[in-house]
Amino acid sequence: MARQPLKTYLCLFAQQHPEFRLPELLSLASVTKSEVKFDELSYSKTNPLLLVHFPSEESACRIAARSLLIRSLFELWGSGRNHDELEASVNKLPSEFTDRYRRSDYTFKVVVRGFSRKCSAEKQLQLYERLSYLPLAGKVNLSNPDYEFHLLEDYGDNPNEAPMEPHRVFVGRLISHGQRHLIQKYAVKNRHFIGNTSMDAQLSLIMANMAQVKEGSLVFDPFVGTGSLLVAGAHFGGFGMGADIDYPLIHGRGRASRAGAESKWRGKDENVSSNLRQYGLADRYLDVLVADAAKNVWRQGELFDAIITDPPYGIREGRRKIWVKKYTKPSPT
Amino acid sequence: MKLLTHNMLTSHVKGVKNGFPLRILARKVEVRQIDFNPNFITRMIPRIDWSVLRAAAENLGHGQGLPESPPEEYESQEDFLKSAHHVLMEVEVLEGDLECPESGRKFPVTEGIPNMLLREDEV
């Protein structure tokens, strides 16, 4: 098969966990078997924009369909250091990009966004006027358009000393959003069963992406706790198995961890399996065991596809080991 | 505890050379319906010790219809995958013990959760 030439997309990253943005992107390219290229020198941890090359829109969308750290992906229509360069670059677009939009049988909207400097309403109006060179013949529909075109203005990395004019501008067609909505959906604050150190939803999902969990993966967490990482693994199609040395926690005994409820006992149904059930993932729960991660309980052989874990660091959750017999009960005489 | 998990667990008592498979001494067994996922079962078959699974299922009274060994091209045999799914995923040991085949040490299963912890002088 002949290699497809790569197409250029503009990636808008979330401004959180910047150190994981490129590793997550590379991991997802690998799990979706897609080629990906970008210029690492043009990437900055403090800047949310990066040009990325994928073989096709379809492969770009497959990656966005799993990514937590991609906010949006755009098909790049033009770029420049200022609006004149941008206009020249859009005018040079090959006709296969624009032909479809020269017909009038669709609706669209244009969105203007500035980074490090907000555009005033007045400035936005000027920019919409300025963008009239875009070859768009459809009707405007602000609430439910068929296509969205975004103008992104980059005013540098420091919002406190942002210049009056942007130093880079881009125009692109929105092709897909990332999975930021999952952060709300899996928020720990709404989770049925939580512990003192339940892993936050975003990081759990990023970890499942880095571990390349996919449909039918067997996922193991040797410090399972309340099962946050198994929930994330199950979201991406994994089947979860866990172990923990904390017998009362695994059996849902002891005091509740939720703020304001510390004086209450845990409910009978507070366990890892109920956490999966809460999200409709009950069938992706296999088992949890009470076991010491320092002692291997698994037979030899290839068993697990992914091991994701958040071990106790001895700060918020202490180190534990198996019990030592301290005394023997004196026998009655 | 599902039989899939049992198929992967081994005893780790000090001095034991071969702690696999653990003998199931079941007091309470339940069958829970779980959605059949042929992809997952197909992925598990090569990792399973089939004769151990079959013996465990027979011991619990759920061994009917399990072949001696997985058929060739099992990935396309839905009947086989469904019976494997049933014993791997749906048959659950809720109460009982897992006994180490060499030392006889019993690991209790309570509320479906095996307790694999040993005392310090046993490891």
pLDDT over 70 at A327, yes or no? no
pLDDT band at residue A318 under the 50/70/90 scheme: low
Backbone angles phi, psi at A96, to 5 degrees: -65, -20
- pLDDT of res. A326: 55
Fold of A7-179: VC0802-like (3.30.2130)
pLDDT over 80 at A265, yes or no? no
CA distance A96 to A99: 6
* Whether B120 contacts B46, CB under 8 Å: no
Rounded average pLDDT over B48-65:
95
Q: Average model confidence (pLDDT) for chain B?
A: 95
CA distance A56 to B93: 49
Across the interface, of A247, A295, A323, the residue whose CB is closest to B12 is A295
Q: pLDDT tens digits for A189-206?
A: 889 888 888 899 999 999
* Whether A9 contacts A52, CB under 8 Å: yes
Rounded average pLDDT over B18-24:
95
- pLDDT of res. A252: 84
**A297·B9 Cβ contact <8 A:** yes
pLDDT band at residue A3 under the 50/70/90 scheme: low
Least confident range of A193-197, A282-286, B31-35: A193-197
Rounded average pLDDT over A300-320:
85
- pLDDT of res. A219: 98
**A325·B119 Cβ contact <8 A:** yes
SS3 B95: strand
Domain boundaries defined on chain A? 7-179, 185-307
Least confident range of A49-53, A160-164, A217-221, A281-285: A160-164
- Chain A: closest CA distance from residue B123 (Å): 8
Query: In percent, how much of chain A has pLDDT > 70?
Result: 93
Rounded average pLDDT over A104-111:
96
pLDDT over 60 at A159, yes or no? yes
pLDDT band at residue A2 under the 50/70/90 scheme: low
- Give the DSSP H/E element, type plus range, for residue A203: helix A201-210
Mutation site for B-interface testing, chosen from A230, A268, A286, A288 by largest number of B Cβ within 10 Å: A286
- Chain A: closest CA distance from residue B20 (Å): 7
Give the pair of three-digit tokens for residue A133. 């060179």
**Residue B77 sits in which domain range?**
3-117
Q: Which residues pair with B99 in a beta bridge?
A: B23, B106
- Is residue B88 one of the residues assigned to a domain? yes
Give the DSSP per-residue string, A30-64.
Answer: HHTT---EE-GGG--TT--EEEEEES-HHHHHHHH
- pLDDT of res. B103: 94
- pLDDT of res. A174: 98
> How does DSSP classify residue A215?
T
Complex-level ipTM: 0.95
pLDDT band at residue A332 under the 50/70/90 scheme: low
Give the pair of three-digit tokens for residue A104. 């009038």
pLDDT band at residue B2 under the 50/70/90 scheme: very high
- Is residue B73 one of the residues assigned to a domain? yes
The alpha-carbon radius of gyration of chain B (Å, integer) is 15
- Going by C-alpha positions, the residue among B121, B83, B68, B90 that lies closest to residue B3 is B90
**B39·A216 Cβ contact <8 A:** yes
pLDDT over 80 at A248, yes or no? yes
Give the burial string for A107-135 (b: 16+ CB within 10 Å, else e): ebbbebebbbbebeeeebeebeeebeebe
A255 versus A146: the higher-pLDDT residue is A146
**B115·A289 Cβ contact <8 A:** yes
Q: Are strands A218-221 and A239-244 parallel, antiparallel or unpaired?
A: parallel
The CATH number assigned to the domain holding B109 equals: 2.20.25.10
pLDDT band at residue A106 under the 50/70/90 scheme: very high
Tell me which CATH homologous superfamily contains domain A185-307.
Vaccinia Virus protein VP39 (3.40.50.150)
- pLDDT of res. A15: 93
The half-sphere exposure of A154 on its side-chain side, counting CA atoms within 13 A, is: 19
Across the interface, of B42, B44, B123, the residue whose CB is closest to A295 is B123
- Going by C-alpha positions, the residue among A51, A239, A72 that lies closest to residue B4 is A239
pLDDT over 60 at A325, yes or no? no
Rounded average pLDDT over A21-39:
96
CA distance A136 to A199: 46
Backbone angles phi, psi at A71, to 5 degrees: -85, -50
CA dihedral of B22, B36, A286, B25, whole degrees rounded to 10:
-30
Residue in A with minimal Cα distance to B9 = A298
Overall domain count for chain B? 1
- pLDDT of res. A328: 56
Residue in B with minimal Cα distance to A301 = B47
Q: pLDDT tens digits for A44-93?
A: 999 999 999 999 999 999 999 999 999 999 999 999 999 999 999 999 99
pLDDT over 80 at A117, yes or no? yes
- pLDDT of res. A322: 66
Contact residues on chain B for A301, CB-CB shorter than 8 A: 47
- pLDDT of res. A331: 61
